[in-house]
Structure 1
Amino acid sequence: MTSKKLDAFLSKNLKELREQGLYNEIDVIEGPNGPIITIEGKELINMSSNNYLGFANDERLKEKANEATNRYGVGAGAVRTINGTQTIHEELEEKLAQFKHTEAAVAFQSGFNCNMGAISAVMNKNDAILSDELNHASIIDGCRLSGAKVIRINHQDMDDLRTKAKEATESGQYEKIMYITDGVFSMDGDVAKLPEIVEIAEEFDLITYVDDAHGSGVMGKGAGTVKHFDLSDKVDFQMGTLSKAVGVVGGYVAGKKELIDWLKVRARPFLFSTSLTPGAAAACKEALEIMMNSTKENETLWENSDYLKKGLKELGFDIGHSQTPITPCIIGDENLTQKFSKRLKEEGVYAKSIVFPTVPRGTGRVRNMPSAAHTIEMLDTVLEVYKKVGKELAVIK
């Protein structure tokens, strides 16, 4: 017999989520995750993928993944520190360091694992972490795991950062103080104020940590947000994912060689999880090669992004203040947001609703993620559908 208390807990809370428009239905894609996807036999224009450069189904990456699988096997067979480090893993990390303009880099199994492992490997209960209030959930969890005192900083508020950095430093309570921020914020698409952040960090000797999951492959002609501001030698931790613009799976931290050496002996996900599959590592390496040798996909991404934003804005949608391809259409009410997304899907556009707890209550939005793989014709169809559904639901006039 299973627990009656567990059954009651699940039944009550799932019912409440559904009533409040907060229950997330998981759709299953029948085939690759490209600009057009198939769900339940219906083709939809896909506006919800993080596949910024279209690499997830790129023939060049698939070829390298298959070659590596044939050479090394389908799995690494062990954790990195026992005998799960193959030459392809070292080659990937060397390429990552070149890509991020750092001395070294270490690959993890996911971006979430990076933040869980890297933060807690360096920060502890004797330290403090200054954290932007809109940082990703993996940063929040990584900070909690470290045991450090977490001090929330108002979003992108440099005066608040300076004040709290000064207070934390002058208190004498902490051995080390870190400031951690997303490079690109995933829900609104705004970019961290890295020049000001670095200035404040140098004044108060803060450790700087930039989560560039949505910046790598997008900002700085692909090299990321830190490179966009030419601050590669000023930021201690450059963290990123290999599952968004890179198109595969995994994550990485790039920085000084001593930092990477330390993470390889103290970051728990690195120590206690089997390493990336050889095929994934080889595909990631190929994506990095492509980005380092050409800006073609990056330029197309930005052209498509600008085109979509202009169209949505002219239709009267509130698209916030995004500085990146991330393009939210802010609806507000959770149930209306869910209904809006459902109607888009019925009309052939897959754009997922984002509601609490991912974003604050009352700020529900449908988030659009244009990619280099979209055509202008696809985006024109998206705009026509947005116009129809927006007027039907009185979101626009």
Structure 2
Amino acid sequence: MFTNYSYTVDTRFMRYAQIDTQSDPLSSTFPTTEKQKDLSRLLVKELLEMGITDAELDEHGYVYATIPANTDKQVPVICFCSHVDTSSDSSGTGVKPIVHRQYDGGDIVLPDDENVVISAKEHPYLASKKGDDIITASGTTLLGADDKAGVAEIMDAAHFLVTHPEVKHGAIRILFTPDEEVGRGVEKADMKKLGASFGYTMDGGELGSLEDENFSADGAKITVHGISAHPGAAKDKLVSAIKIAGEIVDALPKDSLSPETTEDREGFIHPVRIQGTVEKTEIDFIIRDFETAQLEAHETYLRRVMDKVLAKHPGARATLKVTEQYRNMKEVLVHHPEVTAYAAEAMRRADVQPLRMSIRGGTDGSRLSFMGLPCPNIFTGEMALHSKQEYVSIQDMKKAVQTIVYLAQLWEEKA
């Protein structure tokens, strides 16, 4: 089916990667940065040029579009979703994507900062891509394959389906979201407008990865209130909220319950930001576990640590506030096994071996699943996320395009 198809996924990705779309975790607006809409407006323009007439960008930064059904069967409406924003962990300004043709299997030294090396030893998946065409950034920014690879793959699959009407499918909805990287990706998504029954996020990593389980997640904030005094007359008066916050962080386990010491299905308590003054200091945490019930246990542990430290500082006080972020999509997808099964079959049709995996993190799909759209996550090829070492294989992206098309075809066949 794809023998004579001229893929557009690589050129689309190179174009999208150069648009700065970083979201801002400290912003209270929605979207958190207006520049995310720069890419969204381009996507609407390209969708309209394909002949997808209802493509639109709403005031919140969401792109909605429909590839109409071309079959008489009653097929469930399915949605493909990716996010346009990139992480704030590394600069996304002035991205210069570079294609390394027929990668030789060795280290890749990035030209704009030769201290940034993508080591084949440290990145064994990259080493396995010998002979592929690899896209990287230039060394001073992230690449943005998370998740512009997914965006480009959905766009190329849409282009294929529009230009190949012989491939029968039901109605397909496209959703591009802002602010996924700050955990707000579907906060203002209009599910009634979307009108889909099942969905797939294109936001996974290595070729064949198929994820129908993710961390359950809460955010936590400890606010420490100290006592301020002039440092020249502070003896027996000053109680530093900054130092107490430091003690709380230092009291967390060194060999467990942290991202740097856990793997597989182990959860963690992770301080991600400290800010404040002697009088008031805030510590932000993310709390993660595959078992939702374990979140409460982690939060109870954190409270005990806080109380134990506070007991050593008379006059100080602190509060712990927990906010629900997202939950394990498995709790929903277990009731809709066909959604994941069809994804696995679509991969096999694309000559890709499905790799059932769990996400030590979250995607829009985890939130969407609990909003009524069961939504596992499919590979895009994006690797070494949120860093200057980020890379993606063009061949992996092409396989993702095929998987999307075969999925659309499968839902029609099974209807």
| TM-score, length basis structure 1 | 0.26
* Structure with the bigger percentage of strand: 2
* Structure with the bigger percentage of helix: 1
Which structure is larger by alpha-carbon Rg, 1 or 2?
Answer: 2
